[in-house]
Every structure is written in structure tokens, then in C-alpha cells.
Amino acid sequence: MRTKDLVTTAISNTFRSKLRTTLTVLAIFVGAFTLTLTNAVGAGVSQYVDAQVGALGSPDVFIITQASDATAAGDGPVEYDASSSASVSSNQGPPGTTTKALTDTDLATIGDTAGIESVDPIRSVQPDYIEYDSGIPYEFSINATSAVTTADLTAGAQLDGGASEAQLVLPDTFVTPLGFASADDAVGASVSIGITDILGETHVVDATVVGVSLESLLAAGAGANDALIAELADAQSGGIDTAVTSYGVAVAHFDTALSADAVTALKADLATAGYTASTIEDQLGAVQTVINGIVGVLNAFAVIALIAAAFGIINTLLMSVQERTREIGLMKAMGMSGGKVYTLFSLEAIVIGFLGSAIGAGVAIALGSALSAVLSQGLLAGLPGLNILVFEPASVAFVIGLVMLIAFLSGTLPAQRAAKQNPIESLRYE
């Protein structure tokens, strides 16, 4: 019997007992359906977290501050050292933590550290409002670290850090109020940003909108390139020549080719020099761990359902072997080898697994896509950009392949029993 005939016969034999096969396929369907949905939830949430992480900074960037001298709460305040740099407020430690400012000398030290490619201080600006075409002004803020972040864009392009033109990435919540017809309509427009200087006088700085981004949960404010930040900072200073010599935070770029161990060693070198360096992964690693743990637990329930379905496959094929004992004896008496008998029953198991997994994955994609669209417009409307269920082709293919493998392994015992049948005894079976 040729391979093509074996496959055709296996498919035909699968539907001999329609009720039994249907019940087995339904059991597999439950496991495949659940596993496909849980993988989609994991992919959707991870995709959203990655987009939010991009709003905090690039993966090849350290957020650097002076190491805190403050001790844990209850140990008392830290004695003032007049020779040290000024202190700034910080959210890098527990409440009550005092963080010293970084000086130009600190920036030079950080830049000279082996493995650091560049280091730049973060200059904070506090604009008052933004308006378009002399329309209604709206309160406005800028994310201080936006020059090193990746915005979750709905239109336009990312900021060009090296551009001399003042560029802005506008949050999508400002599009309609400012009078734009759509996000695409806002791209390329010139907006005016008002800022008050230290003398109380208001200045207006013009900027070009290069992109429109979804609102981020982790980093509030619009994105601005270095040129816009510099213009706003100069306006904020009121034209007074006050050279900035201390900074609360700096960003340092390191080589993306560095291994995880090398990055850890680099952080240790900076810590030895008296600085605290953290990556975006450090800040949100715990969040991703929790997400992976939840998805892992859900996947475990799906696997349990598949294991239960595997026993259904074993039962179905064992019953099939018993019912077809004389048929097996006849096939072997006519020259069919034990190996081909084994292959025939293994193919039947694989067909059952494919039917259950394909139908389960298909139904999961259809229902999940509809559910995700409804949730994004309703319950999850407050989380723009979140598609709670994302079905990746590779993930769906993996689920179908996994179920077919489980089905094949489940069919091994019945297939071996069929292959070892004695043709003479099988023909005498009543």
C-alpha cells in the first residue's frame, strides 16, 4: 500500500465511528481552543507592554543618577556635606530618598567609562500651553526623556534627535481639540508652545508636528527632540546667561551588542564610581515576569485539557483496533507489513489531532478577534493601543503542531497493538 493510499485510508477510517470520533475531536478542540486564546492574550499584553516600555526609553540606554547616600527610613537624616553637589528630588528610591545632582564632571566620568558610547543630561522644561492656528490654547507638558524614547505612533514618524528643526510628537488626545481633522492631518503642521520664563514673561516657541502617538500609561507628555528642548530651555531662562552645571538625571547609551552579563558588569562599574544605572528592563522586568507567570498558569490548564483528550484518542483507537481485528488480520495475510499497519493507525491518530486542533484554533481566532475588537471599544477603551488578543501565525501553527504530536504519541500504543496482531489468530477472531 502506497503512502497516498495509507493517508486516504486513514482519513476514511477516522469517520467509521462518527460519534466516537466527534467526541474525541471535541475534547481536543477544548484544549486547542484554550491554548490558542491564552497564547493570544500573552502576545497581546506583551505587545502592549513593549509599546509602553518604548515610551520610557530605548533598550540600549541607562537612566543614570547619583547614588543616594540616604539610609533606610528610621536611620535618621544624612549629614549635609557642603563639598558635594546640590541635591534634587528623585523618584528613583523610596520615600525620603535624597539624590545628589550630576555635575559636568560626573558626566565626563560616566562618558569615560568603558562600554559607554555617549552620555547626555536631561533638561527639564515646563511649558504652559500649546495652540494651533491661533485657536484655543490647552495645558501642555513634555516628557523630559522623550529624546531617547520610541513613541507608539498612530501617524507620522519618530523624532529625529540630530535635526536642527524643533520637532514634536503630539499625543493623540490633542488632535481633535486643537482643530485637526485626523492624526494624519496633524503631521507636518506647525504649532505654538507657550512657556513662562523666570521673570514671569511668556514666550512662544514654534515646533513642527512630525508624529502623533497613543497616550502612554508610563510616560506622560508629548515628545520633543533636542532642538525643541533647547529652544524651550532658553526661553524658560528668560535670556539670562545662566549656565546649567547640575542635572537630576542623565541618559547614557551603551553598545547594543553587549551581552546581558556585560551590561550587568557595566552597571557594577558605574555603581563603583558612585552612580545608579538602570535600564528599562530593570524598571519593568517584574511586570513582564508577572504577565508571563499568569499566561503560563493559563497554558497549564490548556495542557491538562489536552492530556485528558489524549486518553480519549487512546480509547478511540483501542476500540477501533478491537473492532477491526479481522480486518487487520486480512490486511496482514495479504502481505501488508506490521510497519504499514502501525503507520495506518498512527495516521488516524494524527488526523483526529489535526481536526481538533485546527477547528479549535480557527474558532478561537474568530471569536477572539471579535471579542478583542469589542473590548478595545468598551471595557479597555481607556488603554489605547491595547489589543488584548493578538493571534500570531507562528503561535497558532505551534499549537496545531503540538496537538498533532500529542495525538501521534497517544496513538502509539494502539498502533503497536495493531502491528503485532497475528494474522491467523486475527482472522479467527469473533
Instruction: Read off the pLDDT of residues 252-307 as tens digits, 9 standing for 90 and up.
Output: 888 777 788 888 888 888 888 888 888 766 766 666 677 778 778 877 877 787 78
| Single residue among 279, 301, 322 that ends a domain in this structure | 279
Q: Which of 294, 288, 292, 352 is nearest to 319 (CA)?
A: 352
Give yes or no: residues 71 and 20 share one domain: no
Total number of domains constituting the chain: 2
Same structural domain for residues 184 and 107? yes
- Burial label, 50 (beta-carbon count in 10 A; 0-12, 13-18, 19+): middle
Average pLDDT over residues 112-131: 86
Q: 292 and 261: one domain?
A: no
Q: What are the backbone angles phi and psi of residue 237, rounded to the nearest 5°? A: -75, -10
For 115, other C-beta atoms within 10 Å of its C-beta total: 16
Of 401 and 258, the structure prediction assigns the larger pLDDT to 401
CB 131 within 8 A of CB 178: yes
- Write down the pLDDT at residue 97: 45
Beta-carbon count within 10 A of 53 CB: 22
Q: Judge contact between 274 and 67, C-beta under 8 A.
A: yes
**Same domain assignment for residues 66 and 212:** yes
Identity of the residue numbered 428: R
Instruction: Give yes or no: residues 100 and 137 share one domain.
Output: yes
403 and 258 housed in the same domain: no
> What pLDDT, on the 0 to 100 scale, is given for residue 91?
44
Q: Which residue has the higher pLDDT, 216 or 355?
A: 355
The answer to whether the beta carbons of residues 89 and 34 sit under 8 Å apart is no
Structural domain boundaries enclosing 202? 60-279
pLDDT band at 386 (very low <50, low <70, confident <90, very high): confident
Please say if the pLDDT value at position 186 is more than 90: yes
Same domain, yes or no: 26 and 129? no
- 381 φ/ψ angles, rounded to the nearest 5 degrees: -65, -25
**Same-domain pairing of 66 and 203:** yes
Contact 58, 219 (CB under 8 A): no
Q: Is the pTM of this model over 0.85?
A: no
Domain identity same for 154 and 193: yes
Mean pLDDT of 147-157: 79
Could you tell me if 221 and 295 lie in one domain?
no
- pLDDT (mean) for 81-98: 48
Of 373 and 87, the structure prediction assigns the larger pLDDT to 373
Question: Has residue 61 got a pLDDT over 50?
Answer: yes
3-state secondary structure of 209: strand
Indicate the residue among 254, 279, 304 that finishes a domain: 279
Same domain, 195 and 344: no
Residues 298 and 225 in one domain: no
Q: So what's the pLDDT on residue 89?
A: 45
Amino acid 429: pLDDT = 61
Provide the pLDDT confidence category of residue 190 given band limits of 50, 70 and 90: very high
User: Which has more confidence, 430 or 326?
Assistant: 326
Q: Is 298 exposed, middle or buried (0-12, 13-18, 19+ CB in 10 A)?
A: middle
Note the pLDDT tens digit of each residue in 20-55.
888 888 888 988 898 899 888 888 887 877 776 655
CA distance 276 to 62: 9
Q: Kindly report the number of other CB atoms within 10 A of residue 139's CB atom.
A: 8
How far apart CA 128 and CA 235 sit, in angstroms, is 12
Residue 251 phi, psi (nearest 5): -115, 135
Domain boundary among 253, 279, 305: 279
Distance from first CA to last CA of the chain, Å, rounded? 26
Q: Are strands 202-213 and 167-171 parallel, antiparallel or unpaired?
A: parallel
